[in-house]
Structure 1
Amino acid sequence: MDVRQLEYFLAVVDHGGFNRAASALYLSQPSLSQSIRSLERDLGSDLFHRIGRRAVLTDAGTALIEPARAAVRSLELARASVESVHGLRGGRVEIATMPSQSIEPLTGLVRRFTAAHPAVSVTLRAAFTPEDVTRMVRTGVCELGLLAAPAPVSHHLLRVHPLRGQRFVLLTPPDGPFPAGVPVRREQLAGHRLVVGQRGTGMRTYVDTLRAEGVGLTVAVETEHRTAILPLVLGGVGLAVVTEAWRDLAERAGARVLDLEPRTLLHVALVSRPAALTPAARAFLDAVPEDAAPHS
């Protein structure tokens, strides 16, 4: 068994099958299958059930995922550490990020980092809930994660690097029901139709809390596709509660953005594994400006 075989195994897992993994690896499908078969012989256990063109993980395959990622990450760390002796002249940092936070603060953080380290590439991977982010970092899919949650972020297996929180705001069409520049109280949302995200997100929790408190609003659309929210609002389908990360983008698109009262914050943080990070990931954390930290 060698690290290359583990990389191939993880590619099949991440891409959901042999054909797509082979394409991503620029290998022929028979070559990839042969490598996985060799790995299975070394381990004495099948890693996948082959069902037609589908590859479904066996229990043994599921058990291998986390140690395989750890082994691959260890090799990447060793290689990157040696290469960084003469300065950070290459490498890659992978970040799992929730959609709203990928607008801000991530855009600003990446801009600052790439300006300081133009030879390092940044890979952003989609995660839709805080649990998605922490799982991807904990299992080694990504070295860093950016998440937001209704309560201060904590995790017993990860290091937490708090960032400035984001308040909730209301998106309406330009001819919406509330006047521009005037904050909207939460109870004023009664009787209105809202576009909401999936369960487990901070903005969905905000809306669910209002409904539990007796505010009689209607969920017009529930969407996992965060990019659909702004077009739906502009199209008059409903209003939306989002974080202020959306403010500039929404206003440029023509939406009205109103503060919600009382002020409610979503807590934002970067997370990383307690194990050693690659020089690129450490440099990304070091590039976070002091003014991105929470106000004391």
Structure 2
Amino acid sequence: MDVRQLEYFLAVVDNGGFNRAATALYLSQPSLSQAVRALERDLGSDLFDRIGRRAVLTEAGRALIEPAREAVRSLQLARASVESVQGLHSGRVDIAAMPSQAIEPLTEIIRRFTRLYPEVSVRVQAAFTLREVTEMVRTGASELGLLASPTAVVNGDVRSYPLLEQRFVLLSPPDGPFTPGVPVPHAELAGHRLIVGQTGTGMRKYVDDLRTEGVALTIAVETEHRVAILPLVLSGAGLAVVTDSWRGWAEQAGALVLELEPTTALHIALVSRHSALTPAAEAFLESALATAAARGAADLLGRPDRSSAP
């Protein structure tokens, strides 16, 4: 068994099958299958059940995922540590991010990081809930994670690095039911139709908590496609509760962005495993913390929010 075989095994897992994995690895499908078969012989157990064109993980295959990721990450760490002795001139940072946070604050974080380290690439992987981000980092599928939580993130399976808070605001069409510039009390959402994301997101929890508190609102649309929320609001399909990272983009599109009372916010944090990070990930983390600190100072000075997308 060698690390290359483990990388091939993980490629099949992550790409959902041999054909897609072979394409991602720039290998022929027979070559990939042969390498995985050799790994199975070494381990004395089948890792996949081949069902037609599908490859379904066996119990042994599921047990191998986390140790395989650990082994691959350890080799990557060793290589990257040696390469960075003369400075950070190569490498890649893998980060799992929730949709809204993948735009803001991640856009600003990446902008500053790539200016400092132009030869290091950043790969952003999609994760739709806090739990998905945490699991991707814990299992080694991603080295870093960017998440939003209704409460402060505490160290558990992952190590957390608080960045900032994002307030919840209300999106409304320009001819909506509320007065521009006037905060909207929670109780006044009663009787209105709302557009929400899927269960497990902070924005969805906010709306579900309002209903639990007795605010008689109606969920008009539930969508996993975050980019659909603003067009739906502008079309009159309903209102939406989002974080204030949407403000710039929403206002440019013509929507009203209204404060909510009482003020509630999501805690935004980076997370990592408790084990050592690659030099590129360490540099990214340092840059992100510096970016968050600079943004906090700008907010205290009353500078305008430069957020521009959901």
Correspondence 1:23-102 to 2 at 5 A: 23-102=23-102
- Give the match for residue 126 of structure 1: 126
- Give the match for residue 183 of structure 1: 183
- Rounded to whole Å, the distance in 2 between the matches of 1:34 and 1:103 is 40
Q: CA shift at 1:143, angstroms?
A: 0.7
Q: Is the 8 A contact 1:193 1:238 kept in 2?
A: yes
Instruction: Give the partner amino acid of 2:218.
Output: T
- Give the match for residue 192 of structure 1: 192
- Rounded to whole Å, the distance in 1 between the matches of 2:192 and 2:112 is 40
Instruction: Give the partner amino acid of 2:109.
Output: L
TM-score (norm 2): 0.93
Structure 2: runs of 5 or more not aligned: 301-310
Percentage of pairs with the same residue? 71
SS of the aligned residue for 2:79 comes to helix
- Rounded to whole Å, the distance in 1 between the matches of 2:272 and 2:295 is 17
Q: CA shift at 1:157, angstroms?
A: 2.0
Structure 1: runs of 5 or more not aligned: none
SS of the aligned residue for 2:251 comes to helix
The ranges of structure 1 where at least 4 consecutive aligned residues each deviate by more than 6 angstroms after the TM superposition are 293-296
Q: CA shift at 1:199, angstroms?
A: 0.7
Q: CA shift at 1:55, angstroms?
A: 0.3
Correspondence 1:1-296 to 2 at 5 A: 1-288=1-288, 289=290, 290-292=293-295
Q: CA shift at 1:155, angstroms?
A: 3.3
Using a 3 Å threshold, how does the CA distance of structure 1 residues 281 and 293 change in structure 2: closer, same or farther? farther
SS of the aligned residue for 1:160 comes to strand
* More moved, 125-134 vs 227-236: 227-236
Q: Is the 8 A contact 1:163 1:292 kept in 2?
A: no
- Rounded to whole Å, the distance in 1 between the matches of 2:217 and 2:47 is 48
Q: Is the 8 A contact 1:12 1:18 kept in 2?
A: yes
Q: CA shift at 1:117, angstroms?
A: 0.5
SS of the aligned residue for 2:198 comes to coil
Show CA shifts across 1:40-89 (max 9, x none).
00000000000000000000000000000000001111111111011110
Q: CA shift at 1:104, angstroms?
A: 1.0
Q: Is the 8 A contact 1:163 1:293 kept in 2?
A: no
Q: Is the 8 A contact 1:18 1:32 kept in 2?
A: yes
Q: CA shift at 1:252, angstroms?
A: 1.3
- Rounded to whole Å, the distance in 2 between the matches of 1:215 and 1:51 is 49
Q: CA shift at 1:176, angstroms?
A: 1.1
- Rounded to whole Å, the distance in 2 between the matches of 1:293 and 1:214 is 35
Show CA shifts across 1:168-188 (max 9, x none).
000111111111111111111
Q: Is the 8 A contact 1:191 1:217 kept in 2?
A: yes
Using a 3 Å threshold, how does the CA distance of structure 1 residues 270 and 31 change in structure 2: closer, same or farther? same
Tell me the matched-pair count.
Answer: 296
Q: CA shift at 1:156, angstroms?
A: 1.2
Instruction: Give the partner amino acid of 1:215.
Output: V
- Rounded to whole Å, the distance in 2 between the matches of 1:238 and 1:154 is 35
Show CA shifts across 1:256-290 (max 9, x none).
11111100011111001111100100001111222
Q: Is the 8 A contact 1:165 1:268 kept in 2?
A: yes
Q: CA shift at 1:254, angstroms?
A: 1.4
- Rounded to whole Å, the distance in 2 between the matches of 1:291 and 1:166 is 15
- Rounded to whole Å, the distance in 2 between the matches of 1:229 and 1:24 is 32
TM-score (norm 1): 0.98
- Rounded to whole Å, the distance in 2 between the matches of 1:291 and 1:161 is 15
Show CA shifts across 1:183-202 (max 9, x none).
11111111110000111111
- Rounded to whole Å, the distance in 2 between the matches of 1:179 and 1:122 is 42
SS of the aligned residue for 1:214 comes to coil
- Rounded to whole Å, the distance in 2 between the matches of 1:66 and 1:137 is 11
SS of the aligned residue for 2:146 comes to strand
SS of the aligned residue for 1:287 comes to helix
- Rounded to whole Å, the distance in 2 between the matches of 1:107 and 1:287 is 12
